[in-house]
Amino acid sequence: MIPVILSGGSGTRLWPLSRGQYPKQFLALVSDRTMLQETVLRLNSIEGLKLPIAVCNEDHRFMLAEQLWEIGIKPSAIILEPFGRNTAPAVAMAALSAPSEDEVLLVLPADHVLTDIKAFHQAIAQAAVLAGQGHLVTFGIVPTHPETGYGYIKRGDAFQSRAFHVAAFVEKPDFKTAENYFESGNYLWNSGMFAFTAGNFLKELDKFNPDMLSICRQAIATATTDLDFVRIDKEVFSRCPSDSIDYAVMEKTDKAVMIPLDAGWNDVGSWSALWDVIDKDSFGNAIHGDVLTVDTENSFIHAENKLVAAIGVADLVIVETADAVMVASKDKVQEVKAVVARLKEQRRCEAEYHRKAYRPWGHYYSVDNGDRHQTKRIVVKPGAKLSLQKHHHRAEHWIIVKGTALVTKADEKILLTENESIYIPLGVMHCLENPGVIPLEMIEVQSGSYLGEDDIVRFNDPYGRK
């Protein structure tokens, strides 16, 4: 069995923690590990499990690779989508990348929570058997309450052991319909997790959506390998239809079966869902960071940089980050995506970026910015190197705070240590690397007429960026 980790989600409903360039699967929301890491680690001890295939947005490739490296996992492939086309093309490309059509693929979103790992493993073992028999398996979550935020799967006739035929996939219902579903006992939440052989999935996709499969074949055939990544050609992939596994295959095939799963599942699709799975104090408050509460109950309060004090409130979500504060009623948290849409309409950077931005060589934190200046705190990992580059619109001043920097400035190579500085004029080719064994920390002051991240002309980049 090969896990296929789908990591293309944007997580807009968990703004302002989750951003376009740093979505929720890369955040540590319910433990010390990120959700991506937890997804992979909960597969430990499953016999016969092979190295995973990961599919992610091209912009997230270094975060995904580094987070898997931190837990000792090197995927057999990391497939980079130039843009999202939903789950069916992602799984199709993973299936086409499998070493054999007989391989069972275990398809898992990278951003779910499961608490009963034993029950999860038992369901996977059963799914592997059914997939090997030619079935396309989905996991239906046994509901704990009426829920309007999930799609549902209607249970059909009993099949082998605890499995059932799939009678229907249904859309997210209104509350009254969700109540009827819950009371009937015949409807389970749609988890978005699947198991099938690569060959059987591709056969069914060819039957119901041959155009999608044809373009996915072209995408894999024309893909290039860059470091650990499989780069999909943007022009080829742009022609691919966008569709979910449910719509493209599972709703149409006669091979679909469902395994009920009662394992403490939660897709953490909203702040109220996250409140459900986090430990709470005696007043029902889920608290993170520097928070003081007085006469406050049943609230989610997350502070990253400042003291947050809540007085006399109930059923609120309060999230503070370096550049944003979000306050919402718990029963309105599904509307957070409307805020993100508004930010995108106004082309505000808060929709996509945090002040702390991660790069393959380390990270930087935006300290201050104005019309013609910007200050960043930069950390470069030991042995890491930035691209050889220049800027058309800005000059840069670098001050070393900790560690050692090897700076290329035009034809010079200059070694700098703590409390030393250097000036990089506009238009001068330059490069920064950390030759030491401790992180390099420095302050960068930019000045110029335009300070956007796209004012970078790269001549040589160890990470394959354009």
Query: Which residue in 365, 364, 270, 376 sits closest to 319, CA to CA?
Result: 270
Per-residue confidence (pLDDT) for residue 454, from 0 to 100: 85
Domain 2-261 and domain 356-460 have a common topology: no
Per-residue confidence (pLDDT) for residue 440, from 0 to 100: 98
- What are residue 380's phi and psi, to 5 degrees? -110, 130
DSSP state of 249: I
Per-residue confidence (pLDDT) for residue 369, from 0 to 100: 86
Angle at the Cα of 98 from the Cα atoms of 92 and 99, rounded to 5 degrees: 150
**Which residue intervals of 85-197 are DSSP H helices?**
87-97, 117-132, 175-184
Query: Which residue in 99, 159, 106 sits closest to 128, CA to CA?
Result: 106
Mean pLDDT of 52-77: 93
Report the share of the chain in percent with pLDDT over 70: 100
Q: Please say if the pLDDT value at position 162 is more than 90.
A: no
Each residue of 6-19: pLDDT tens digit?
A: 998 888 899 999 99
Mean pLDDT of 407-416: 96
**Quick check: helix, strand or coil at residue 204?**
helix
Mean pLDDT of 402-410: 97
Each residue of 441-465: pLDDT tens digit?
A: 999 999 999 998 889 999 988 877 6
Each residue of 241-269: pLDDT tens digit?
A: 999 999 999 999 999 999 999 999 999 98
Q: Please say if the pLDDT value at position 160 is more than 90.
A: no
What's the mean pLDDT when you consider all of the chain? 94
Each residue of 286-318: pLDDT tens digit?
A: 999 999 999 999 999 999 999 999 999 999 999
Written as one string, the DSSP assignment of 318-344 is: EEE-SS-EEEEEGGGGGGHHHHHHHHH
Burial environment of residue 310 by CB neighbours within 10 A (0 to 12, 13 to 18, 19 or more): buried
How sure is the predictor about 390, in pLDDT bands with cuts at 50, 70 and 90?
very high
Each residue of 331-381: pLDDT tens digit?
A: 999 899 999 999 999 989 899 888 888 888 999 999 988 889 999 999 999
Q: What are the domain boundaries of the chain?
A: 2-261, 271-336, 356-460
Q: What gap in Å lies between CA 387 and CA 187, rounded to an integer? A: 53
Q: Which CATH superfamily is domain 2-261 in?
A: Spore Coat Polysaccharide Biosynthesis Protein SpsA; Chain A (3.90.550.10)
Per-residue confidence (pLDDT) for residue 59, from 0 to 100: 86
CATH of domain 356-460: 2.60.120.10
Each residue of 214-243: pLDDT tens digit?
A: 999 999 999 998 877 999 999 999 999 999
Q: Please say if the pLDDT value at position 146 is more than 70.
A: yes
Q: Which two tokens stand for residue 38?
A: 């937890």
Written as one string, the DSSP assignment of 266-325 is: B---SHHHHHHHS---TTS-EEESSEEEES-BS-EEEESSS-EEEES-BSEEEEE-SS-E
CB 403 within 8 A of CB 439: yes
